[in-house]
Amino acid sequence: MFNLILYEPEIPPNTGNAMRLSVNVGARLHLIEPLGFTLDDRLLRRAGLDYREWADVQVHQSLDCCLAQLAGARLFAVSTKSETAYTVPRYQPNDALLFGPETRGLPAAVLAAVPAEQRIYLPMMPDNRSLNLSNAIAIVAFEAWRQLGFAGAAR
């Protein structure tokens, strides 16, 4: 199982989609406060459907608190400012995949704290800014899970 970390997420449907995805790929979802919504937000519930009850979701007061709980996990930060494509790392169980808030991405200080080879990006066509957060999470999560042999998957 690996970990998906959303740093200060702002848009409820993206987090609802991430909850649903986390259940379907067997990942834990970590939300770093402040959140731009409450966990009972109707848009979050709508996007997450009934998966919320099965999702392993933890809310943390800070990224440091989250990382302390995940001691020993390798951290990969997803950012358009990175130099390594998301397909390059060899993911391992318990790895943590960190995604920034929708409107601003990860802060420079957070990125700087992650080793350069663990800062990853998703290739895009030139002159585009970014992908939707829930789409980016799905792309990277499925690559990590694929590399883990789709552990626990059913047809």
Which pLDDT belongs to residue 55?
Answer: 79
Phi then psi for residue 136, to 5 deg, are -60, -45
pTM of the model: 0.93
User: What mean pLDDT is predicted for residues 33-41?
Assistant: 81
Strand partners, 6: 31, 99
Which pLDDT belongs to residue 46?
Answer: 56
Q: Is pLDDT above 50 for 48?
A: no
Q: Is pLDDT above 70 for 116?
A: yes
Structural domains of the chain ordered from first start: 2-148 (3.40.1280.10)
Instruction: State the binding site for S-adenosyl-L-methionine.
Output: 78, 100, 122, 130
Do the Cβ atoms of 33 and 61 come closer than 8 Å?
yes
What proportion of the chain, given as a percentage, has pLDDT over 90?
75
pLDDT band at 3 (very low <50, low <70, confident <90, very high): very high
User: What mean pLDDT is predicted for residues 68-93?
Assistant: 96
Instruction: State the binding site.
Output: 78, 100, 122, 130
pLDDT in tens, 126-147: 998 889 999 999 999 999 999 9
pLDDT band at 70 (very low <50, low <70, confident <90, very high): very high
Tell me the average pLDDT of the chain. Answer: 91
